[in-house]
Amino acid sequence: MRRRNFLALVSAGMALAGTKKRPSLEADASCGCEFQPQAGGRGAGQAGLQAFSDLQSGLKITGMKVFGVSLTPDSDRPYVFVKLETNQGLIGWGEGTLEGKAGAVMACVNDFRDFLIGADPMQVEHIWQSMYVHSFYRAGPVMGSAISGIDQALWDIRGKALGMPVYKLLGGPFDARGVRGYYHVDGATRDQLTQIRQTAREQGITCVRPRNPRYRWLTFGG
């Protein structure tokens, strides 16, 4: 096909497309999808809220703050903390520290403000999915750290509201011990780690993470 003929066909196609009414996206109630924008913004308190209209706890997120806290005045790797406030006075705290990228994480946390204000903090999983899926682009370490800090703060509120420690909430009725955790330790040699292992077993700790990369994870059974 000659270039002149090709350009003529393209021009005709564009003109024809301009005369046709474009189809609009409509939500299919059978699939649970929501293509149409929700009134009042794109926050977690609005997106998909219809599915939870009869399951509201009465708690609402009313404020969010993010802090960068450095141990030393010249540190370039501050800790990142997230604070969520509610209409009933409950406050949740979380940590989203990402070494060397604290500013990026703090900005990302603030980007999620619309997903949080007005949302029910008891719907932790729903909010997590709203932040992750509705962000469009695949999450990396910055977004993951921001979501992690917010998620911890949500679980903190949930635990306080129910009067239960979070580790029991995460363990649920299937495991009374809750979620298995680990401790950071400073042991750098085998002898030091052997001593740590002995102490850990006496305290009921079954997993530690040493600083020495040769012994990145140590489990002690149980």
**49-172 belongs to which CATH class?**
alpha beta
Long-range CB pairs of 193-198, under 8 A, 24+ apart, other chains included: 193/218
- Which strands form 183-185's sheet, in the order they lie side by side? 183-185, 207-210, 218-219
Give me the pLDDT at residue 22, please. Answer: 41
Query: Residue written as tokens 């030393």?
Result: 72
Query: Residue written as tokens 């703050």?
Result: 65
Residue 64 β-bridge partners: 84
Residues of the chain with pLDDT under 50: 3, 6-7, 9-10, 12-47, 222
User: pLDDT tens digits, residue range 72-101?
Assistant: 877 767 899 999 999 999 999 999 999 889
Give me the pLDDT at residue 175, please. Answer: 65
User: pLDDT tens digits, residue range 166-195?
Assistant: 877 877 656 666 666 677 777 667 787 778
Give me the pLDDT at residue 113, please. Answer: 92
The tokens describing 87, both together, are 């209409």
The tokens describing 182, both together, are 């680990």
The tokens describing 10, both together, are 């393209």
Do 158 and 169 meet the contact criterion of CB atoms below 8 Å apart?
A: yes
Distance CA 115, CA 113 (A): 5
Domain residue ranges in the chain: 49-172, 180-219
Give me the pLDDT at residue 161, please. Answer: 93
Give me the pLDDT at residue 94, please. Answer: 96
CB atoms < 10 A from the CB of 107, how many? 13
CB-based contacts of 49, cutoff 8 Å, min separation 6: 38
Give me the pLDDT at residue 107, please. Answer: 94
Give me the pLDDT at residue 24, please. Answer: 42
Q: Which of 171, 218, 173 is nearest to 197 (CA)?
A: 218
